[in-house]
């Protein structure tokens, strides 16, 4: 069994900050295995009727744990999970409690209290750069096609049947149980369309028409996908300059394996690698920075920058994603630099390694690979990045 040291260290840091930690992430991202790898923990599976009976009296349950380290897996299966977590945070600080779930607290009506200020959150994304090293699978092509769910990545072949099995479980255990949505067929069609068009601009009316639903329903479906980490909405960056486009967000599917599956991609062509590399960079930013405060940028002349990190108290960081760094088109970064001359400019390259500074006519660009991207971003942001999950 692979020890995911990057994530184990992140959970331990979160426990040092707060006694209650919420471990979020999509189904089969490895939450249960990770929780069991933590040292000196008592593990409780909340899908077990016996465990649910034990937790029916949350005060007695927490008192029985004394000062131990406790994992409550699939905590949303409890009748009132937020009551137990709130009691733990307020009255049992000696108990280190890790709760797992597929969505954010407050994403469904079952959570009556989001525990604002009482918890730390760790978002377990699909496999990041550090995971590739630990899984001894540095082949980015394999990561793109099979995706970043560990069991999918490690399978001998592309696990095509597993993609639909995952989608069925997602509907039954996350959507139907927590959100009580109806019309499974329209929701799944919408989800498949999000995957197939991943990385493109989201036009609610067009998606609604294709899925035979109204626009309000399409926006509700998108909100549910975002709350359960299955879709990521990347909104436009602007300081309200008149030549910038604000209207449409870009929407990304959560995992390249699912994007490839719903696009019918089994073997990567050069144009596929470029588009999927953008997804890997976004996943790396999510994993390393633990934030969704990521934007994209476009102007009315057609210039684009893939990702912009708005830094509180500092200049923005603009990130352009290119599969190869040689002869990369940097016109988007150049246009952004003209609008925001103080911005930090980054070229995230699939063939990149350690940060290399390049002098361009419009300013300095730092080319960097996946494994060094977060280190560089944190350096140029000078500690000003604040996770929205903290």
Same domain, 118 and 144: no
Considering the domain boundaries, does residue 204 fall inside one? Answer: yes
What is the tens place of the pLDDT at every residue in 120-152? Answer: 999 999 999 999 988 876 688 999 999 999 999
**CA distance to 242, 282, 362, per residue, from 295 (Å):** 18, 10, 22
Same domain, 104 and 190: no
Considering the domain boundaries, does residue 312 fall inside one? Answer: no
pLDDT band at 82, cuts 50/70/90?
A: confident
Same domain, 90 and 142: no
Lowest mean pLDDT among 112-116, 294-298, 351-355: 112-116
Same domain, 34 and 70: yes
pLDDT at 390: 41
Same domain, 119 and 142: no
**How many domains is the chain built from?**
2
Same domain, 260 and 156: yes
- Phi and psi of 147, rounded to 5°? 90, -175
Same domain, 117 and 47: yes
Same domain, 73 and 178: no
Is residue 291 scored above 80 in pLDDT?
A: yes
Same domain, 119 and 162: no
What is the tens place of the pLDDT at every residue in 154-207? Answer: 988 888 899 999 999 999 888 887 777 878 899 999 999 999 999 999 999 999
Q: Which one of 62, 89, 123 terminates a domain?
A: 123
What is the tens place of the pLDDT at every residue in 255-281? Answer: 999 999 999 998 888 888 989 999 999
Q: Which one of 92, 123, 154 terminates a domain?
A: 123
Is residue 376 scored above 90 in pLDDT?
A: yes
Q: How far apart are the first and last CA of the chain?
A: 29
CATH code (residue 69): 3.40.50.300
Domain that holds residue 192: 138-232+252-275
Same domain, 191 and 98: no
What is the tens place of the pLDDT at every residue in 219-264? Answer: 999 999 999 999 999 999 987 665 555 668 999 999 999 999 999 9
pLDDT at 111: 65
Considering the domain boundaries, does residue 112 fall inside one? Answer: yes
pLDDT at 105: 59
Confidence (pTM): 0.93
State mean pLDDT over 375-381.
89
Same domain, 116 and 14: yes
CB-CB contact of 141 with 274 (8 Å): no
Same domain, 107 and 170: no
């Amino acid at each position: 069994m692979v020890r995911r040291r990057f994530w184990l260290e992140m959970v331990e840091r979160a426990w040092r900050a707060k006694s209650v930690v919420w471990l979020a992430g999509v189904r089969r991202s490895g939450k249960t295995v990770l929780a069991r790898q933590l040292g000196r923990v008592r593990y409780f599976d909340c899908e077990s009727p016996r465990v649910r009976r034990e937790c029916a009296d949350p005060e007695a349950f927490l008192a029985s744990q004394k000062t131990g380290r406790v994992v409550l897996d699939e905590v949303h299966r409890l009748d009132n999970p937020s009551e137990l977590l709130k009691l733990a945070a307020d009255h049992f600080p000696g108990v280190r409690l890790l709760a797992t779930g597929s969505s954010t607290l407050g994403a469904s009506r079952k959570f009556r209290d989001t525990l604002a200020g009482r918890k730390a959150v760790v978002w377990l994304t699909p496999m990041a750069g550090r995971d590739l090293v630990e899984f001894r699978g540095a082949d980015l092509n394999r990561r793109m096609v099979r995706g970043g769910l560990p069991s999918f990545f490690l399978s001998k072949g592309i696990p095509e049947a597993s993609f639909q099995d995952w989608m069925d479980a997602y509907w039954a255990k996350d959507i139907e149980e927590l959100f009580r949505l109806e019309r499974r067929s329209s929701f799944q069609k919408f989800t498949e369309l999000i995957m197939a068009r991943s990385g493109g601009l989201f036009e609610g009316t067009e998606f609604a028409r294709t899925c035979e639903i109204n626009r309000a329903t399409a926006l509700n479906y998108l909100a549910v996908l975002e709350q359960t980490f299955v879709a990521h909405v990347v909104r436009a960056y602007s300081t309200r300059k008149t030549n910038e486009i604000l209207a449409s967000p870009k929407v990304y599917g959560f995992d390249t394996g699912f994007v490839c599956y719903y696009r019918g991609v089994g073997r990567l062509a050069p144009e596929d690698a470029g588009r999927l590399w953008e997804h890997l960079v976004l996943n790396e930013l999510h994993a390393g920075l633990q934030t969704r405060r990521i934007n994209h940028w476009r102007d009315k002349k057609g210039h684009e920058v893939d990702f912009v990190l708005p830094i509180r108290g500092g200049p923005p960081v603009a990130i352009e994603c290119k599969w190869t760094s040689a002869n990369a088109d940097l016109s988007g970064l150049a246009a952004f630099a003209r609008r925001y001359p103080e911005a930090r400019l980054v070229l995230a390259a699939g063939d990149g390694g350690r940060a290399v500074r390049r002098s361009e006519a419009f300013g300095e660009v730092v080319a960097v690979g996946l494994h060094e991207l977060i280190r560089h971003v944190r350096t140029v942001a000078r500690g000003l990045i604040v996770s929205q999950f903290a």
